[in-house]
Amino acid sequence: MSERIKGVMAAGLTAFNDDLSIDVQGTIAHTQWLLANGCDGVLIFGTTGEANSLSLAERMAFLDALGASGLPKDRLMIGTGCCSVPDSVELTSKTLEIGIESALMLPPFYYKNPSDDGLYAHFARVLEKVADPKLKLYLYHFPQMSAVPFSHELIGRFLADFPGVFCGVKDSSGDFENMKAMAAKFPGFDVFAGTERYLLDTLKAGGVGTITATGNCTSAMCGAVYAAWKAGAPDAERLQEELTAQRLALQNFPAAAALKELLARESGRPSWRNVRAPFLPLAAERAEQLVADMKKVDFRLPAIAA
């Protein structure tokens, strides 16, 4: 069993061809670029990867290609949480089959206000069907999108009843107090901030890093903050301030469209602007505003191969 991923992770974008099919090689190349530019790991099929705009068949086919790609499997995490148990089982089993042990799971998010007992039953059934001791399962706490939060009581039940399986959480709620409380309450349960804005604060509170959408473009700065914190360097706070300014500027725009706009400009590949409905590419005026805003916070992307 591989070591757990800790540190900086980007919630990787999915590249699309002009017909909006997955650009498999483009997505794999972007993942490799992230790993070479500040990321300790990359999450595939998260919110920013437009996972819920992809069919199960598309995701399964991409995982086959990912498994054959030569990318380091111990640095990858796959989003496998679906509303139905069979879909979650199929994606999670495929993830393990191709050699990736880390899976991030949304709760079943269509039906609102489920009980903790109902959520427990869902995850227990998935684990029963997957039945693989190598699985490292991470919870995806994003109540603004899923409208189904994970209570601390439920997390405690998971940890007690499935030791070694539930490894951590991506907390995208924006509530740092919740991140801090989980890190204190559940030692050994890896808390990732869902925004690099709280990277340093989360590390200080006992968390392990960040899994962030805007890390698709801020990964190098995220990596600098993480390295400074590990080294006990005095400039960690200053670097975090710069990183926070970049995050705050980026989050004024739709995440996938804005990040893809910046990548399209740096790489010279217009196809990076492709997103699936209901998302739309940034209008020209908004794109120029994005570039201007990022210039104000001294943002620069590392070079990208065309």
- Residue 44 is labelled as binding a ligand: no
Helices (H) and strands (E) in the chain, counts: 12, 8
> Does residue 30 contact residue 62 with C-beta atoms inside 8 Å?
no
> Which residues 6+ apart lie within 8 Å of 206 measured at CB?
183, 184, 187, 191
Tokens of 189: 């349960």
Tell whether residue 48 is among the known ligand binding residues: yes
Q: What is the Cα–Cα distance from 159 to 169, expressed in whole angstroms?
A: 12
Catalytic residue among 140, 180, 198, 226: 140
170 catalytic per annotation: yes
Inter-residue contact 122 to 85 (CB < 8 Å): yes
The DSSP annotation for 241-292 comes to HHHHHHHHHHTTS-HHHHHHHHHHHHHT-GGGG---TT--PPPHHHHHHHHH
Check if the beta carbon of residue 248 is closer than 8 Å to that of residue 197: yes
Catalytic residue among 94, 136, 138, 170: 170
Locate 135 and state its tokens: 């699985």
Instruction: Determine if the peptide bond prior to 108 is cis (ω within 30°).
Output: no
Whole-number Å distance between alpha carbons of 21 and 24: 9
Residue type, 85: V
140 is annotated as an active-site residue:
yes
Output DSSP code: residue 3. Answer: P
- Catalytic residue numbers read 140, 170
Which residues sit in the known binding site for pyruvate? 48, 211
Which residues sit in the known binding site? 48, 211
